[in-house]
Each structure stands twice: as C-alpha cells, then as structure tokens.
C-alpha cells in the first residue's frame, strides 16, 4: 500500500563517511567503530536503512481576525515534536523496505502536537496566536541509517544517522530503533545482543 515518505538524501557511501567522522562519542577517532561486516573492498557492510514513523499535523492559528496555519511533526515512536517545514517534500510511493509501525496513536500524537505548538507560540516574541482546529494530518516515514559495530570486544552496538539531513540522532531515536527491532522479532542475533546492553 502506498505511503508518504521524506526523501532519502544521504546514500550509503555518505552514511559510511558520516559514521567514520571524529566525534565526541568515539573519542574523536581514537576509538574506532569496527563494523560487524565488511565488503570485499573493506567498506563497512553492517549498514541498514530503516524508515521510522511520524505524524505531521497542520494546526489552525488565529490572531484577532487573521487566520493562518502551521505544520508540526510528532515522532510516532517516542513522541517528540518540532515545527515541520518539509511537508512539501513528502511524496507517495510503495516500498518493501523496513517501515516500522507507530507506537503512539493518532489521538496521542495530536495532543502532543497541540501541546508542542503551544510551547512554540509562548516562546515567540510579539503576537501570540491562538491554536484552533486541527486542519490536516499526514502520517509519513523518515529515513534513518543504522550502523552496527563492535564496542568493547564482541558486544554489538548501533549508531544512527538522519537519512535526510545527515546529522547524528539522539538517544531517544536509538532506543526507539532497538525497541522496534525487538518488537519485530528479528531472527538474527542483533536485537538480543543490543537488548542485553541495557539500552
């Protein structure tokens, strides 16, 4: 069944380069992330593209006689929200790639979206519009690269990268992906190893 997707702008080679960059999390290159698999030419092969669920809501805003609207996105795995300026980039297609189901209901996500919009409005200087009706909701999937590597001997860990911006992602998304793998009941040994790490 067709679904909406945010475009993938970071390909596998770009993702490998990003994961190899010197960062605080790998002691600026002193602690290298050894991939659990390599290609014949030595490239990291333990790399996987997954699609994480999200909701985009368009909320009506009013100030005196002026009406406008704004989009806000809610992560459907752990509920964080942010103003969404990429709704025009969403496109519909079919896919056989891994698309994880939402763990948060539409009703819960809408509540979080309205609460998040209120916080955004209150932080703004100047006029503060009222939040009125929910005008539209679009569920979609966002691309995330998952890199599997050895940490401290043979213990497997993951690093994650935003497949649209190329930026590293935080601990909440990392936990959401691990939980999604476990809930999916993956048949290989990755999820049990990750779960035993206590994440």
Model pLDDT for residues 120-164, shown as the tens digit of each residue: 999 988 888 999 999 999 999 999 999 988 776 678 788 899 999
Q: Are 25 and 170 in contact (CB under 8 A)?
A: no
pTM above 0.85, yes or no: no
Burial 152-180 (b: 16+ CB within 10 A, else e): eeeebbbbbbbbbeeebbeeebbebbbbb
Lowest-pLDDT range of 2-6, 40-44, 165-169, 178-182: 40-44
Same domain, 148 and 94: no
C-alpha distances in Å from residue 51, one per residue of 63, 102, 130, 167: 37, 11, 34, 16
| Planar angle of CA 184, 186, 188, nearest 5 degrees | 170
Tell me the CB-side half-sphere exposure of residue 198, using CA atoms within 13 A.
0
Model pLDDT for residues 26-51, shown as the tens digit of each residue: 444 445 566 656 656 656 557 889 99
Same domain, 127 and 77: yes
Same domain, 75 and 88: yes
- The domain boundary, picked from 103, 118, 141, lies at 141
Alpha helices in 100-161 (DSSP H): 106-123
Task: Quote the domain boundaries for residue 119.
Answer: 54-141
Same domain, 61 and 137: yes
The total number of structural domains in the chain stands at 2
Same domain, 137 and 162: no
């Amino acid at each position: 069944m067709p679904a909406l997707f945010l475009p993938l702008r970071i390909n596998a080679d770009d993702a490998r380069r990003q994961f190899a960059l010197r960062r605080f999390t790998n002691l600026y290159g002193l602690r290298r992330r050894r991939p659990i698999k390599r290609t014949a030419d030595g490239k990291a092969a333990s790399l996987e593209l997954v699609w994480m669920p999200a909701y985009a809501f368009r909320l009506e805003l009013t100030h005196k006689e002026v009406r406008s609207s704004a989009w806000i996105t809610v992560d459907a795995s752990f509920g964080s929200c942010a103003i969404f300026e990429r709704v025009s980039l969403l496109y519909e297609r079919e896919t056989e790639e891994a698309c994880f189901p939402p763990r948060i209901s539409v009703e819960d996500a809408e509540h979080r979206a309205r609460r998040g919009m209120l916080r955004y409005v209150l932080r703004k200087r100047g006029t503060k519009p009222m939040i009125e009706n929910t005008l539209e909701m679009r569920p979609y999937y966002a691309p995330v690269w998952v890199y599997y590597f050895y940490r401290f001997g043979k213990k497997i860990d993951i690093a994650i990268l935003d497949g649209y911006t190329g930026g590293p992602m935080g601990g909440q998304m990392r936990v959401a992906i691990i939980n999604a793998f476990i809930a999916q009941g993956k048949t290989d040994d990755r999820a049990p190893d990750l779960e035993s790490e206590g994440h």
